[in-house]
Amino acid sequence: MKKIEQIDLNVTLEKKEYKKKLKKLQFEMLNIQQFLYNNKIGLILVFEGMDAAGKGGAIKRLTQRLDPRGLVVHPISAPQYHEKRYHYLHRFWRKLPQRGQVAIFDRSWYGRVLVERIEGFATDDEWMRAYDEINSFEKTLTDDDFIIIKFWIHVDEQEQLNRFKERETNPYKMWKLTDEDWRNREKFDDYIECANDMFNMTDTKNAPWFLVSGNNKHYARIQVLKETIKQIKKEAKRRGLTISDTGNEI
């Protein structure tokens, strides 16, 4: 069973090595994007994690060299009033990619078993049955030519505080910090408990969770790229397909 407590938050990656690996992996990811398009396989990437864990930075590096015409990033926040009139998964169904394209969810349907559970926006019955609903939702997609990969990026409380303080003084990052972030910080341990329950109930063979150490941003970004590429190659092989190697020539 995957648990946050198992993550080694002390791992690091030096900037020089990071840049070298980043370029190579980004071009490999571009090659994979063409493979997905040619074989009409949809890719869905889910990003969850603590506030200021580096989800946005990881997504930016993952997509930096991809063709934007085959890619969409969905930043997910609280549902709008009209969306609450539907089943909670409805708004995510509408954002799914075409086969052959890529959709990235910065926050996702897992809000039902995280923030909605913790804040009481979902009843006990609603969030408890959501595990099976989500597993069925994801299985429906992976049975139908979609690949789903889910990331939890984690930072400890001190690193999160350091990043919050930086955002308070950086004019280019101030917009990222809200009163809600500070309130969520007070429930740090609750999020760990709920996340561990989430991994236990929804880490499936067809839609696995990958837990990433986020205290070092360079390390986290490389791990996200490596795990994404590795999982897609694994799924391609399972389908009897081969991803051609470009040799990462630039």
β partners of residue 210: 151
Predicted local confidence at residue 94, as pLDDT: 96
Nearest 5°: the CA angle 7, 12, 14 is 160
Place of tokens 């994801």: 138
Q: How far apart are CA 75 and CA 60, in angstroms?
A: 12
Q: What is the pLDDT of residues 93-114, one digit of tens each?
A: 999 999 999 999 999 999 999 9
- DSSP secondary structure letters along 72-124: EEEE--SPPTGGGGS-TTHHHHTTPPPTT-EEEEES-GGGGGTHHHHHTSS-H
Write down the pLDDT at residue 249.
Answer: 43
CATH code given to domain 6-59+70-79+86-238 = 3.40.50.300
Q: How much is the pLDDT for 244?
A: 85
Q: Give the pLDDT band (50/70/90) at residue 25.
A: very high
Mean pLDDT of the region 234-244: 94
Reply yes or no on whether the pLDDT at 135 is more than 90.
Answer: yes
Q: Enumerate the domain spans of the chain.
A: 6-59+70-79+86-238
CA angle 150, 152, 155 (to 5 degrees): 165
pLDDT of residue 133 exceeding 80: yes
Axis crossing angle, helix 217-238 with helix 55-63, rounded to the nearest 10: 60
Report the predicted TM-score, pTM, of the whole model to 2 decimal places.
0.95
pLDDT above 80 (res 250): no
Place of tokens 């089943």: 87
DSSP 244: P
